[in-house]
Amino acid sequence: MPVLHAAILALIMQSPDSGVTALRAARLLDPKTGAITTNAVVVVQSGVIKAAGAGVAIPSGATIVDLGAVTLLPGLIDCHTHLLQNYKGAYGGDDPNMALTVATLGTTRRVLLGVAMGRQDLEAGITTVRDVGNSGGGGDVALRDAIADGWVTGPRIIASTRALSAAGGQFGTLAPEAQPLIQQEYVVVSGVEEARRAVRQAFYDGADLIKVIVNTGPRVLSLDEMKVIVDEAHRVGKRVAAHATSDSATRIAALAGVNSVEHGYTISDDALRMMAAKGIYLVPTDYPAAFYVDALAPTGLSAAEHDRELAGAREFEAHSRDRLTRAIKLGVRIAFGSDEYYDVPGRTRGQASLLPLEAYQNDGMSPLDVIRAATVNAADLIGWGDRLGVIEAGKRADIIAVDGDPLKDVRALERARFVMKDGVVIRNDVAGSQRR
């Protein structure tokens, strides 16, 4: 039997008439310019966009997918996710969930969990993710490669392997006997030589980028450690994503010249100016306030407890809004990241992961800027700006279709009805769509 490369085999199996596909749609959005093309045609072959625009000729013999009155957009890119975690609110927050996940699932089962979470992301229109740690020992790399090789269907993954961190990683209190669990999830570094070694080890383990936890509780990496991490990664053309939530941590991350500050709940104006000058992205992992209470708070709250939770979430939301508004005003570029890793009742992982887009819009970003954060900006941040983020000739054929007008309300993105990744149709719920 001839040996077929897995990716080719997958392509043949998923699209039996594996030639040219032409998508037809009422509208096509270019996130770069904000321009809408009406009566759009997108011609796709071998996973790549060959032509896109109005009046593009459809090659004879092409399979035509007529999507009707939808808007086509590039596949969405989530720059901050954790596919190999799915915490339960009922277990009581991050600390018990992390201990349980690492101690009871192990990497093998977490990879299988990642298959399910990735599939849900993809079906919601998230065609690429940057998976930033909490993946056990090499689970993210295994899943990335399995998807790339066509063993399983999922989003394209940019993987970090284990995050670098100060002592303890992001675990809550662990007894001394249980502390070996930490190294399954984090590489603890202390001093510049350990930091340097950890970066090289991550690349040996298959990392596409480095994720570093600048602050975790009162434990904060030093500027010298951060500079070595950034230098060591940049020297070989790789990027650094920095979890930083406090004033001192965001300042250290900006000074060290990381590529993105993740969360950045508290950032002073001068650190934001530094980020703007150095082209450092902010990845705001913000959610609408009600989400924290309705989806994640313990069940069975009294009315008074519910109101107290909601008031706390609203205060946090106002704080996050203030720093996002200042960041944009000072010229910091924004890329979308969900930081979704909880089982959210009533929503798939993908549906829950799109809620931050709504939060950005609530915070005053224009719908077009929100869409840019999840397409062109995200593609640029992950180093795929030449292949992803817009629908134009030469780019990978990652395309979604939505009803309604996403330039009026980004919540339209929460209802993708057609998803294509690498030229393969993942879902198509558009009534009356024809394949010929």
User: What is the rounded distance in angstroms from the CA atom of residue 314 to the CA atom of residue 320?
Assistant: 10
**Complex with Zn ion: residue 63 or 120, whichever CB lies closer:** 120
User: What is the rounded distance in angstroms from the CA atom of residue 57 to the CA atom of residue 59?
Assistant: 6
Please state the closest distance from residue 338 (CB atom) to Zn ion, in A. Answer: 9
Shortest CA distance to 23 belongs to which of 53, 46, 1, 2? Answer: 53
First to last CA, the chain: 31
Please state the closest distance from residue 82 (CB atom) to Zn ion, in A. Answer: 6
Contacts of 298 by beta carbon, 8 Å cutoff, 6+ apart: 89, 90, 92
**Complex with Zn ion: residue 140 or 339, whichever CB lies closer:** 339
The residue with its CB nearest to Zn ion is: 339
User: What is the rounded distance in angstroms from the CA atom of residue 148 to the CA atom of residue 342?
Assistant: 25
Which residues of this protein are in contact with Zn ion, per CB under 5 A? 339
Please state the closest distance from residue 76 (CB atom) to Zn ion, in A. Answer: 18
**DSSP per residue over 69-116, as a string?**
S-EEEEPEEEEEE-TT--B-GGG-SHHHHHHHIIIIIHHHHHHHHHHH
Please state the closest distance from residue 189 (CB atom) to Zn ion, in A. Answer: 18
Is residue 131 within 8 A of residue 159, CB to CB? The reply is yes
Contacts of 23 by beta carbon, 8 Å cutoff, 6+ apart: 40, 41, 42, 44, 65, 67, 72, 399, 401, 420
Please state the closest distance from residue 282 (CB atom) to Zn ion, in A. Answer: 14
Please state the closest distance from residue 184 (CB atom) to Zn ion, in A. Answer: 17
What single-letter DSSP state applies at residue 356?
H
Is residue 241 within 8 A of residue 132, CB to CB? The reply is yes
User: What is the rounded distance in angstroms from the CA atom of residue 49 to the CA atom of residue 400?
Assistant: 13
**Complex with Zn ion: residue 41 or 240, whichever CB lies closer:** 240
**Complex with Zn ion: residue 211 or 372, whichever CB lies closer:** 211
Q: Are strands 186-188 and 163-165 parallel, antiparallel or unpaired?
A: parallel
**Complex with Zn ion: residue 68 or 89, whichever CB lies closer:** 89
**Complex with Zn ion: residue 24 or 263, whichever CB lies closer:** 263
Please state the closest distance from residue 140 (CB atom) to Zn ion, in A. Answer: 13
User: What is the rounded distance in angstroms from the CA atom of residue 115 to the CA atom of residue 113?
Assistant: 5
Structure tokens at 141: 């790399």
Shortest CA distance to 183 belongs to which of 136, 216, 115? Answer: 136
The residues facing 415 across adjacent strands are none
User: What is the rounded distance in angstroms from the CA atom of residue 62 to the CA atom of residue 105?
Assistant: 46
**Complex with Zn ion: residue 94 or 231, whichever CB lies closer:** 94
**Complex with Zn ion: residue 283 or 390, whichever CB lies closer:** 283
**Complex with Zn ion: residue 37 or 338, whichever CB lies closer:** 338
**Complex with Zn ion: residue 78 or 339, whichever CB lies closer:** 339
Please state the closest distance from residue 372 (CB atom) to Zn ion, in A. Answer: 22
Shortest CA distance to 390 belongs to which of 77, 22, 45? Answer: 77
Please state the closest distance from residue 264 (CB atom) to Zn ion, in A. Answer: 12
Please state the closest distance from residue 66 (CB atom) to Zn ion, in A. Answer: 40
